A and B are shown apart, each in its own frame.
Chain A
Amino acid sequence: MESIKLRKITSVWVITVLILFIVSITLGILMRLNQGEVISQSPVTFYSNLTTHGLTMIGIWFVAGMAAVNYLMQRYIKTSYAANVIALVFTVIGVLMLWTATFIGKFHAAWTFLYPLPFKEMGAATWATLLFLASLTVLGIGWLIWSISLMTQILKKYSIAQAFAWQHFKKNPKVETPPFILISMITLIGVIACLFAAVVLLVLFYAEYFSKGNFVNDALLMKNLTYFFGHTIANEMLYLGLAVIYELFSEVSGRPKWKTTWYVALAWNFTLIFVLTAFFHHLYMDFVQPEGLQIIGQLASYLASLPAAGVTVFSVFIAVYRTKIKWSLTNLLFFIGIAGWVIGGLGAVIDSTISNNIVLHNTLWVPAHFHTYNAMGNVLFSLGFFYWFSTQFSENSKVSKFTTLTLTLLLIGGIGFLLAFYFGGADSIPRRYSIYPSDFPMAAPMATIGATFATIYLIAILIFFFNIYKRCLKILFSPS
Chain B
Amino acid sequence: MPPKTLIQAEHVSVIRDEDAILDDVSFNIRAEEYVGIVGPNGGGKTTLLLALLGLLKPTKGRVLIHGHAPNSPKALERIGYVPQTFLGRQFTFPITVEEVVATGMIRRKFWGFLTKKDWGKVAEILEEVGMRRYQKRSFHELSGGERQRVIIARALVSEPEILFLDEPLSAVDQPSQAEFYKLLTRLNKERGLTIMLVSHDLEMVAREASRVLCLNQKLHLNCTTSKLKGDENWADVFGDRTKPIHHHSH
Do A and B make up one complex? Answer: no
Residues of A within 8 A of B (CB): none
Residues of B within 8 A of A (CB): none
